[in-house]
Structure 1
Amino acid sequence: MNSSNIPVLTRLSDTHQTITSDDEDVRGHTVTDRSGNELGKIGDLIVDEVERKVRFLLVEHGGFLGIGEKKSYIPVDAVADVTGDQVRIDRTGQQIADAPTYDPELVEQKEFYDRVYEHYGYAPFWGTGYVYPPFPRLPGRP
């Protein structure tokens, strides 16, 4: 897949897809940085409906009682560990705080994905030689 034909990604909650096993559904799990500092919660998973794979975690962090809350996209490539109700990523809390924000009124989706992957230092999933990391699976895909 090349960058000119990147599939549209959608929130899992906006689709009819499900995670293969309830034990693998990380929505609602606490997210920590590589030092173990709590960053927020996984509000949703951003999925590629064509490949049926999770591409980003949508992490809700900051704010108080929903006011001032920020939502950051984190590539699944950043997931270092999933234990119990916690997902540890291999980046710092500051990197999450400084992540690009997505406003569909201001930036097109492909440009945003490019900026997110660049920010975190990962090769994008549409690049040559990309290998999908171990992560909860949607039914129908290995």
Structure 2
Amino acid sequence: MNANFGTLVELGDSGQMLADPDQDIRGRKVLDRDGNEIGKVDDLLIDQEEQKVRLLRVEHGGLFGIGATALFIPVETVERVTDDKVGIDRSRVQVADAPQYDPEVVDRDQQMAGLYDYYGYAPYWAPGYVPPARGFFH
């Protein structure tokens, strides 16, 4: 499989800023569709070629950031954003059961495709991709 979805980098490591500062949702709590807290947005993974946010990196669990695990959630799941919260269209259980994504591994193409498939969205690199109308980042 050769997804060709571009190089994803964490916004915090890129030295870049988002064109629209309202899209910088780092530090906000992430709530599932039922209002249950999942974690907080630790960083945003951006596609360097397209200059678009593709994944939320959500820190989950742990105590004061120690022992927390990273969950990667496609931006297509974002339904609503307030000054301190981000609401997604999945349940906490669905997010916890999602396939792992690690941007540092060799088979990241396969991992990314599996992640999008799990969430039920066409991947943004697929021909004819159309972002959801309610998409916060498109």
The Cα of 1:38 is off from its aligned counterpart by: 0.8
Which residue in 2 is equivalent to 1:122? Answer: 121
Report if aligned partners of 2:79, 2:89 keep a CA contact under 8 Å in 1: yes
Alpha-carbon distance between aligned partners in 1 of 2:106 and 2:94, rounded to the nearest angstrom: 20
Judging changes above 3 Å, is the alpha-carbon distance between structure 1 residues 24 and 106 closer, same or farther for their aligned structure 2 residues? closer
Q: TM-score, normalised by structure 1?
A: 0.85
Which residue in 1 is equivalent to 2:98? Answer: 99
Give the fraction of aligned pairs with identical amino acids, expressed as a percent. Answer: 49
RMSD over aligned CA atoms reads 2.0
Matched residue count: 136
Counterpart secondary structure, 1:55: strand
Write the letter of the residue equivalent to 2:124.
F
Report if aligned partners of 1:25, 1:136 keep a CA contact under 8 Å in 2: no
In structure 2, list runs of 5 or more residues that go unmatched: none
Which residue in 2 is equivalent to 1:135? Answer: 136
Q: TM-score, normalised by structure 2?
A: 0.87
The Cα of 1:131 is off from its aligned counterpart by: 2.0
Deviation per CA, 1:46-68: give whole Å up to 9, x if none: 00010000000001111223343
Aligned positions of 1:43-82 closer than 5 A:
43-82=42-81
Write the letter of the residue equivalent to 1:16.
G
Judging changes above 3 Å, is the alpha-carbon distance between structure 1 residues 53 and 104 closer, same or farther for their aligned structure 2 residues? closer
Alpha-carbon distance between aligned partners in 2 of 1:81 and 1:125, rounded to the nearest angstrom: 20
Alpha-carbon distance between aligned partners in 2 of 1:24 and 1:102, rounded to the nearest angstrom: 22
The Cα of 1:8 is off from its aligned counterpart by: 1.4
The Cα of 1:96 is off from its aligned counterpart by: 1.1
Write the letter of the residue equivalent to 2:44.
L
Judging changes above 3 Å, is the alpha-carbon distance between structure 1 residues 38 and 4 closer, same or farther for their aligned structure 2 residues? closer
Alpha-carbon distance between aligned partners in 2 of 1:115 and 1:122, rounded to the nearest angstrom: 10
Which residue in 2 is equivalent to 1:140? Answer: none
Q: Which stretch shows the higher mean deviation, 36-45 or 67-76?
A: 67-76
In structure 1, list runs of 5 or more residues that go unmatched: 138-142
Alpha-carbon distance between aligned partners in 2 of 1:89 and 1:66, rounded to the nearest angstrom: 22
Which residue in 2 is equivalent to 1:31? Answer: 30
